[in-house]
Amino acid sequence: MLERRLTRRAAVVTAALVPGAVALTGCKDDAAAGSGTPGAVNGGPSSSQGPAEETPAVDPAVVAALGAAATQVTQLSQLYANTSRKFPALRAQLAAGAKYHASHLAKLKETEGVAAKAAKAVAVPASSVVALTTLARQEAIAAATNAAAAAKLSGAPARLLAEIAAAQTQLSTTLTPPKKKDKS
């Protein structure tokens, strides 16, 4: 079994993201709590408002943030698929990441108006080690972007982006090829 050590960089990134994710879990989404969640308009089956306001409207800022995340997740999914095709020996190692991204994309698309835009595909490098490094770097970039976007929102959209950022940070850490041991 391959033993993975927690690097200083991974610890710092996790320490930076976890408090924000924990703080976001305390947000309430229900309209009765008066949370003022961006993206949702009060009204629903239990509301006393008229039928014209029963359909929730989504804040354009929420749609833009979740749409950007959906585009990134789609691009990462394509990179995982292309890397798996080019390096069949990596398929088992990449399976979890591909599964997470499919799940995240489905959750992102649950919000009305969110769609992934066509994005430029990242080329798969010639070496499997460089391919893993590229995947790890792309995951880290996406994690930073999603964490920053989560900090600008509240409620369910913020928690979803924070969850995705945390998963991407974890994937980045696990995909980073181990460095050669120091000669002590």
66, burial (CB in 10 Å: exposed 0-12, middle 13-18, buried 19+): buried
pTM for this one?
Answer: 0.68
What's the CA gap between 91 and 75, in Å, rounded? 17
Query: What string of DSSP letters covers the chain?
Result: ----PPPHHHHHHHHHHHHHHHHHHT----GGGT---TT--S-STT--S-GGG-S----HHHHHHHHHHHHHHHHHHHHHHHHHHH-GGGHHHHHHHHHHHHHHHHHHTTSTT--PPP-PPPPPPSSHHHHHHHHHHHHHHHHHHHHHHHHT--HHHHHHHHHHHHHHHHHHHHHSPPPPPP--
Query: With b meaning 16 or more CB within 10 Å and e meaning fewer, what string describes 87-103?
Result: beebeebbeebbebbee
Predicted pLDDT of residue 5 = 56
Predicted pLDDT of residue 58 = 78
Domains of the chain: 67-177 (1.20.1260)
- pLDDT tens profile 82-111: 999 999 999 999 999 999 999 999 999 999
- Contact between 175 and 136 (Cβ < 8 Å): yes
What's the CA gap between 150 and 164, in Å, rounded? 10
Mean confidence (pLDDT) of the chain? 79
- pLDDT tens profile 25-79: 545 554 444 444 455 544 444 444 444 444 456 789 999 999 999 999 999 999 9
Confidence bin at 121 (pLDDT 50/70/90): confident
Handedness of CA 57, 58, 61, 64 (dihedral sign): negative
Q: Chain-centre distance of CA 173, in angstroms?
A: 14
List CB contacts of 123: < 8 A, sequence separation 6 or more: none
> What percentage of the chain exceeds 90 in pLDDT?
57
Predicted pLDDT of residue 43 = 45
Predicted pLDDT of residue 46 = 44
